[in-house]
């Protein structure tokens, strides 16, 4: 193995029933390097990580690690750890009801006795050397998500780790916490740890990585040093085509501005989770709620759809006063809602893609009027094709699809009901760039056809690209409404931050 290389994977192949998840993939990680692993959903990132950590056995190829002459076989995460390969997953996998120190050393003692003092001393030393703001005796659950993540990393690092895998570590962190995490990553890098960084956020890749490997459809596309790969080219590599730029989208935006007569109007609408607010949207309009996490943007749209218990307010649809206190009433008024938390509120995990697609329309059609199998199949086929949903078949349970494709299924579910007003709460979260652009384009096309859309996204650029009017929220109150010339990133930031004008 060449000098300085800590991990080398050669010609890795792995198939699942119906899919070749990885074919001839090479991956090289050097000492003290942060190596971003990029690719769209279903590109094979997770599979590669799982092969490396022994979750899946590989079908072909070799893995070499620094210090071992022959190719190694990794049969379980425990074996991976023994070779010095540690993983910190997207979801925190520690125990929130134990202390920080306990979490760092749990399951690692040799005997049954525990030297609590020694454990806490060691934990304290490690935490402070890594600059992690947590005390050993603090309950883990009382730390912020970012700190919990960093404790997970500290635990991984302490197990004499040569290769540290961070799988989407930043997706639930705010900017400050991301900065904190990056500081820790750079620190580990300086100690010679090789870090594999899996993420969807392009900016973060450029901020912290040294090298980028791009996968697409289970195959290796390229490996670049980060300063030799401009962002636009990276996106093109991931999507496998020249970017039909975001400019194209911008031009069509004008379409969203010639708004028709109001479709939905609310006055003093409030729910158990949101404070009273006024809101309206016109036919063919795309508007959005923006604000920091917890600002009340999701709660507001949930109130519109009747997802939480509505406690007051007047609502008019198409000028007529209506009562919307339950989702079914909203649906009957032509409103659709794609929820923020896909796993919790969106997918019916064990049901097939077909059943997941027809669900909302079926409910609107009624209990005594089930779709025939042929009708259901027709709908499913139509939308699997239209949205390019990647699934082995329409009978596949939705839980075995990748995140982006699950999201497309939920989107298909609502499009099938032909709503007049569609609410999309974070439709692009955790989704690759290609699908993101597709969804944005789709939103604008629907608006052109006269549908109104309310769009929520944590990425301001995405909101600016799609919305013609932005409602800005802070601390559960609407603090501003921006349109036209005011729709610039600076202006939005300024309003969110409370500059006010």
Partner 1 sequence: MKQTKKRSPILSQLLMPLLALLVLVIFNLIRDPGFFSVELAANNNGDPVLRGNLISILNGASELAILAMGMTLVTAASGGQDISVGALAAIAGSMFVKVLRAGAGITPLTVVLGFLACCAVAMAFGAFNGTLVSVFHIQPMIATLILYTCGRSIAYWINGGATPTVDSPIISAIGSFIPGVPIPTPILIVILMGVIFSLVFRFTTLSLYTQTVGINQGAARLNGINAVGMKLLAFIILGVCCAVSGVIGVSRLSLINHETLLLDIEMDAILAVAIGGNSLGGGKFNMVGSILGAYAIQALTITLYAMKVPSTNIKAYKAVVIILIVAVGSPVVKQAFHRLWSRLTNGQPAGKAGKEVSA
d(CA 137, CA 302): 39
Q: Which two tokens stand for residue 399?
A: 């839980």
The CB-of-168 to partner 1 minimum distance in angstroms stands at 23
Phi-psi region of 217 (alpha: psi -120 to 50; beta: other; left: phi over 0): left
Contact footprint for partner 1 (CB under 8 A): 15-20, 57, 59, 305, 307, 326-328, 331, 337, 339, 344-351, 355, 359-360, 362-364, 366-370, 390, 392, 395, 413
Looking at beta carbons only, is 293 or 328 nearer to partner 1? 328
Looking at beta carbons only, is 29 or 301 nearer to partner 1? 301
The CB-of-13 to partner 1 minimum distance in angstroms stands at 11
Looking at beta carbons only, is 224 or 371 nearer to partner 1? 371
Looking at beta carbons only, is 2 or 368 nearer to partner 1? 368
Q: Which two tokens stand for residue 165?
A: 């895998």
Please report, for the chain, how many H helices and E strands are present, in that order. Answer: 17, 19
Looking at beta carbons only, is 150 or 401 nearer to partner 1? 401
Looking at beta carbons only, is 197 or 337 nearer to partner 1? 337
d(CA 384, CA 390): 8
The CB-of-16 to partner 1 minimum distance in angstroms stands at 8
The CB-of-139 to partner 1 minimum distance in angstroms stands at 28
Looking at beta carbons only, is 29 or 411 nearer to partner 1? 411
Q: Which helix (H) or strand (E) holds 124?
A: helix 116-129
The CB-of-312 to partner 1 minimum distance in angstroms stands at 21
Looking at beta carbons only, is 105 or 264 nearer to partner 1? 264
Contact residues for 160 (Cβ-Cβ < 8 A; gap 6+): 84
Candidates 358, 345, 486; CA nearest to 423 is 345
Q: Which two tokens stand for residue 334?
A: 């032509």
The CB-of-68 to partner 1 minimum distance in angstroms stands at 23
Q: Is 381 helix (H, G, I), strand (E, B) or coil?
A: helix
The CB-of-106 to partner 1 minimum distance in angstroms stands at 26
Looking at beta carbons only, is 277 or 305 nearer to partner 1? 305
Strands 277-282 and 286-290: unpaired
Candidates 45, 21, 47, 20; CA nearest to 35 is 45
In Å, what is the CA distance from 260 to each residue of 263, 320, 455? 8, 16, 18
In Å, what is the CA distance from 87 to each residue of 43, 146, 162? 19, 16, 11
Looking at beta carbons only, is 363 or 497 nearer to partner 1? 363
The CB-of-414 to partner 1 minimum distance in angstroms stands at 10
The CB-of-404 to partner 1 minimum distance in angstroms stands at 16
- Residues β-bridged to residue 322: 315
- Going through 252-295 in order, the beta strands assigned E by DSSP cover 262-271, 277-282, 286-290
Candidates 98, 8, 21, 116; CA nearest to 62 is 8
Q: Which helix (H) or strand (E) holds 60?
A: strand 60-65
Contact 278, 270 (CB under 8 A): no
The CB-of-428 to partner 1 minimum distance in angstroms stands at 19
Q: Which two tokens stand for residue 35?
A: 């190596």
């Amino acid at each position: 193995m060449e000098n300085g290389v800590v991990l080398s994977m050669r010609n890795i192949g792995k198939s699942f029933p119906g899919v070749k998840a990885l074919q001839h993939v090479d991956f090289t990680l050097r000492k003290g390097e942060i190596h971003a692993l990029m690719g769209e959903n279903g590109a094979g990132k997770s599979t590669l990580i799982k092969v490396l950590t022994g979750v899946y056995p590989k079908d072909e190829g070799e893995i070499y690690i620094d210090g071992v002459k022959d190719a190694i076989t990794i049969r379980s995460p425990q074996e991976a750890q023994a070779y010095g390969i540690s993983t910190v997953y997207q979801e925190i996998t520690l125990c929130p009801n134990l202390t920080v120190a306990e979490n760092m050393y749990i399951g690692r003692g040799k005997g049954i006795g525990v030297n609590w003092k020694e454990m806490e001393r060691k934990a304290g030393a490690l935490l402070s050397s890594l600059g992690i703001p947590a005390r050993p005796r603090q309950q883990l659950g009382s730390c912020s998500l970012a700190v919990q993540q960093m404790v997970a990393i500290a635990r991984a690092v302490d197990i004499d780790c040569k290769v540290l895998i961070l799988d989407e570590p930043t997706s639930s962190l705010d900017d400050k916490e991301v900065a904190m995490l990056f500081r820790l990553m750079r620190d580990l890098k300086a100690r010679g740890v090789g870090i594999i960084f899996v993420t969807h956020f392009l900016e973060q890749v450029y901020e912290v990585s040294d090298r980028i490997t791009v996968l697409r459809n289970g195959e290796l596309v390229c490996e670049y040093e980060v300063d030799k790969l401009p962002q636009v080219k990276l996106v093109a590599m991931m999507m496998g085509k020249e970017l039909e730029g975001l400019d194209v989208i911008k031009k069509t935006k004008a379409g969203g501005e010639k708004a028709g007569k109001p479709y939905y109007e609310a006055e003093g609408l409030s729910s158990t989770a949101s404070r009273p607010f006024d809101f309206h949207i016109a036919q063919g309009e795309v508007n959005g709620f923006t604000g920091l996490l917890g600002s009340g943007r999701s709660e507001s749209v949930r109130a519109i759809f009747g997802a939480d218990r509505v406690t007051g307010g007047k609502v008019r649809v198409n000028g007529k006063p209506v009562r919307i206190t339950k989702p079914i009433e909203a649906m009957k008024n032509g409103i659709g809602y794609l929820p923020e938390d896909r796993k919790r509120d969106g997918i019916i995990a064990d049901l097939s893609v077909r059943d997941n697609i027809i669900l909302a329309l079926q409910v609107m059609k009624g209990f005594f009027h089930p779709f025939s199998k042929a009708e259901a199949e027709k709908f499913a086929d139509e939308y699997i094709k239209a949205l390019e949903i990647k699934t082995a078949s329409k009978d596949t349970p939705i839980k075995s699809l990748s995140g982006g494709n699950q999201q497309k299924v939920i989107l298909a579910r609502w499009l099938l009901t032909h709503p007049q007003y569609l609410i999309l709460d974070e439709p692009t979260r955790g989704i690759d760039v290609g699908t993101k652009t597709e969804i944005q384009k789709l939103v604008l096309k629907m608006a052109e056809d006269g549908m109104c859309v309310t769009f929520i996204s944590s990425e301001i650029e995405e909101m600016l690209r799609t919305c013609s009017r932005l409602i800005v929220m802070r601390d559960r109150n609407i603090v501003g409404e921006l349109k036209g010339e005011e729709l610039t990133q600076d202006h939005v930031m300024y309003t969110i931050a409370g500059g006010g004008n």
